[in-house]
Amino acid sequence: MAKYLGKKIAFYVILVAVWQVVAMADIWPNTIFPSPSEVAEDLAYGAADGSLFYGIATSMWRLIVGLSIAIAGGVVLGIFMARVEIVNQTIGSLVLGLQSIPSIAWVPIAILWFGLTDSGIIFVTAIGAIFAVTINTYTGVKNIDPNYIAAARNMGAKGSQLVTYVLIPAAFPYMISGFKQGWAFAWRGVIGAELLFSFLGLGFLLNVGRQLNDVSQVIAIMIVIMGMGILIDGFVFKRIENKVMYRWGLR
């Protein structure tokens, strides 16, 4: 683990060093290709005046709310699609079609429905993630061994008991994959919506950098967005995924 971490750190150190060398070569003006030190200065300035931390907190709050809605709705819809054939034949085809729509394409209708508010951004975040959760939940439930369900029914499990104690636990490895995909879609959705809504958050700071022609700020916020993505994936979903896989004997 330490060796793997060392290689990763060395890679990023080399990457920053190459970036600095290229910036110092004056191939492009710093208004187009800023150096790492200039980007770091922008990050430090944003941290000092609090705008960076406020932007992170705002985006994370919208992400958590939107993703929670997507997970709750996706799990329910996925189970219904897997257990009720008429739902799968009707709503199932619609879900597959809607999944192909990028999150950013929902922004115009979100603005018309909710205006330039948090609700509009949360709507875009949730709608971008819910279909990935739905499809993975559906796949997980459909792949459950029918003998498990039959055994549970013979022991008296039915309705909510069957869902809570059999379907969800048995489908959980698939559902975790759906949550992970959903979070990735939700993170892109919240940043994209903030960018177009111009309403606080990291996407808003990204847009401010564009309006000021400040490439350093744009790159700085992009690095923060990437860093947040890596941290959430590594410290939240990766750990949950490993525990689930270990619990189910898949690792």
Helix crossing, 215-232 with 51-83: angle to 10°?
50
In angstroms, what CA-CA distances link 5 with 36, 76, 225, 228?
22, 39, 21, 18
Give the residue-averaged pLDDT of 184-192: 90
Q: CA nearest 168: which of 83, 67, 90, 65?
A: 83
Task: List the alpha helices (DSSP H) in 2-35.
Answer: 2-24
- pTM (2 decimals)? 0.83
pLDDT at 65 over 90: yes
Q: Residue 225 pLDDT > 60, yes or no?
A: yes
What is the band of 239 on the pLDDT scale with cuts at 50, 70, 90? confident
From the CB of residue 139, how many other CB atoms can be counted at a distance below 10 Å? Answer: 17
With vertex at residue 152, the alpha carbon angle to CA 164 and CA 176, rounded to the nearest 5 degrees, is 40
Residues 144 and 167: beta-carbon distance below 8 Å: yes
| DSSP secondary structure letter of residue 32 | T
Give me the pLDDT at residue 159, please.
67
Residue type, 24: M
CATH of domain 34-247: 1.10.3720.10
Question: Where are the domains positioned within the chain?
Answer: 1-33, 34-247
Give the model's confidence band at 61: pLDDT under 50 very low, under 70 low, under 90 confident, else very high.
Answer: very high
CA-CA-CA-CA torsion for 71, 72, 73, 77, nearest 10 degrees? 90
Q: How far from 152 is each of 127, 172, 236, CA to CA, in Å? A: 34, 17, 32
> If pLDDT is split at 50, 70 and 90, which confidence band does 68 have?
very high
User: What is each CA distance from 17 to 14, 21, 149, 177, in whole angstroms?
Assistant: 5, 6, 57, 36
- The torsion angle over the Cα atoms of residues 57, 62, 64 and 67, rounded to 10 degrees, is -150
**Percentage of the residues of the chain whose pLDDT score is greater than 70:** 92
- CB 137, CB 79: distance < 8 Å: yes
Structure confidence by residue, pLDDT tens digits, 154-169: 776 666 767 777 777 7
| Alpha helices (runs of H) in the chain, residue ranges in sequence order | 2-24, 36-49, 51-83, 85-99, 107-114, 118-142, 146-154, 160-162, 168-197, 201-211, 215-232, 238-247
Q: Summarize the confidence of residues 2-7 as an average pLDDT.
A: 67
Give CA–CA dist 74/142, Å, rounded: 15
